Amino acid sequence: MATASSATDVLIARQPVYDPGLRVVAYELLVQRRDGSSAAEEAEASSTISEIGLNLVSGHPAYVPVSRAFLLEGYATALPAERAMLEVGPDLQLDKAAQQTIEELVATGYRLVLVDLAPGADAERLLPLASVVGIDVTSFDRVALRSELARLRQYGATLLARGVEDHDDLDACQELGFDLLQGYFFCMPRVVAESGVLHVNKLARLQMLGELQRPDIDFDSLQEIISHDVALSYNLLRFINSAFFALPRRVESIRDALVLLGLMNVRKWATLMTLADADDKPQELVMTAVVRARMCELLARSYQHKDAEGFFTTGLFSVVDAMMDTSMVELLAQLPLSREIIEALLNHEGQKGRILRAVIAYERGAFGELGELPPTRTPLADVYSEAVEWATETLGTMS
């Protein structure tokens, strides 16, 4: 991937915004410097948003955080109004000039997103202009949250629940009638199984994953494992014959795939497809797994670590507990993964664990936690962008 001209220490990630049916309808862009300080006032941030950020959102609207300087210096007008929604948070210095600029931008077609405003804050003057109002649900108890919702409903904006971190929060926010939801609830298991009993479909997937990860797996045994699952065989061959691989000839069998792609690659794709076979989970959970896997792999190659496939596997399995709605400890006890991968998943230990921890921090916009990650020749924003692009293309082809 060609390196974009973004500054090497200006980082950008995305966080999904869902409708009540858990379909992604927008992404919030998280833009900071590597040390965690704000970059929203700088020209480099505008460049990063334009060159990378708007490509991260896969055609959805992007919530773009803005500062007073970002508004007054004209950077906002460089963003397309049909794709960029201007996000104002509690840190914005809302003086007369900033407010006038926002009013002019809204009048010309830009949509305004207000987030995390305390009742009575100066930015509440903008409520009549807002298309979306985001409420930090961790700042209110249930009674106060219901009251706040009723107060804000009068302005006619779409109401967004922010900070929805687990499924109890999700259920509460859906019950209260929020229009949109945001948070990392989708990466958490809904119920931790104490009895050790999995639903039959999930048990079958877990058994398949166990077979695919056997350390003694060879050419013939992998062919046999995949061939015994008709749906996996069909979907894998359909995927391998897609434009994603651009193979020189059509692949007619799993054996052909093994010959052309190699044992490790076929195992990787079969594992990915088995994990992705979860109709009861939001697609973004699978997307998160694949982005993590690819970014772990890219960083491993950048640092010239051996076993890039193991780094990919580590990222891919980092949400297996959420996919199976079972504790990570219980699941790993049933999978023949290496001790190194298990320690990485449970405790973020070892080379794989350190990179996984950094990838998760990056994904969540916790850029100040990247301090121990060595510099890379390619800017981290570009590594992340490549991982998102690769995951989007891969899952799109699978679909």
Q: What tens digit of pLDDT does each residue of 6-19 get?
A: 445 789 999 999 99
For residues 160 and 269, membership in a common domain is answered with no
- Mean pLDDT computed over 102-127: 94
Instruction: Name residue, tokens 């297996």.
Output: 320
Q: How far is Cα 388 from Cα 3, in angstroms, rounded to an integer?
A: 15
Any domain includes 3: no
pLDDT greater than 90 at residue 67 = no
Q: What is the pLDDT of residue 125?
A: 94
Any domain includes 285: yes
Any domain includes 235: yes
* pTM > 0.75: yes
**Cβ–Cβ < 8 Å for 170, 164:** yes
Q: How far is Cα 224 from Cα 172, in angstroms, rounded to an integer?
A: 46
For residues 47 and 133, membership in a common domain is answered with yes
pLDDT digits (tens, 9 = 90+) for 169-195: 999 999 999 999 999 999 999 865 444
pLDDT digits (tens, 9 = 90+) for 239-250: 999 999 988 899
Helices (H), the chain: 43-48, 54-56, 68-72, 96-107, 142-153, 167-176, 200-212, 219-227, 230-240, 254-261, 263-276, 283-302, 308-316, 320-324, 328-332, 339-347, 350-363, 380-398
Which CATH number characterizes residue 26's domain?
3.20.20.450
For residues 170 and 256, membership in a common domain is answered with no
Any domain includes 5: no
pLDDT digits (tens, 9 = 90+) for 200-246: 678 888 899 999 999 999 999 999 999 999 999 999 999 999 999 98
Number of residues written out for the chain = 399
pLDDT greater than 90 at residue 197 = no
For residues 161 and 216, membership in a common domain is answered with no
Any domain includes 33: yes
Which one of 164, 187, 210 terminates a domain? 187
Q: What is the pLDDT of residue 41?
A: 53
For residues 139 and 211, membership in a common domain is answered with no
Any domain includes 352: yes
pLDDT greater than 80 at residue 82 = yes
For residues 301 and 360, membership in a common domain is answered with yes
For residues 61 and 137, membership in a common domain is answered with yes
pLDDT digits (tens, 9 = 90+) for 42-51: 666 777 888 8
Which one of 187, 219, 242 terminates a domain? 187
pLDDT digits (tens, 9 = 90+) for 274-323: 998 877 789 999 999 999 999 999 999 999 998 999 999 999 999 999 99
For residues 119 and 169, membership in a common domain is answered with yes
To 10 degrees, what angle do helices 283-302 and 350-363 make? Answer: 130
Range of the domain at 78: 10-187
Number of domains in the chain: 2
Which CATH number characterizes residue 347's domain?
1.10.3210.10
For residues 136 and 261, membership in a common domain is answered with no
For residues 144 and 208, membership in a common domain is answered with no
Q: 34 falls in which pLDDT band (50, 70, 90)? A: confident
Any domain includes 194: no
Q: What percent of the chain has pLDDT over 90?
A: 72
For residues 211 and 154, membership in a common domain is answered with no
Which one of 187, 211, 241 terminates a domain? 187
pLDDT digits (tens, 9 = 90+) for 314-338: 999 999 999 999 999 999 999 999 9
For residues 161 and 303, membership in a common domain is answered with no
pLDDT digits (tens, 9 = 90+) for 140-157: 999 999 999 999 999 999
Any domain includes 192: no
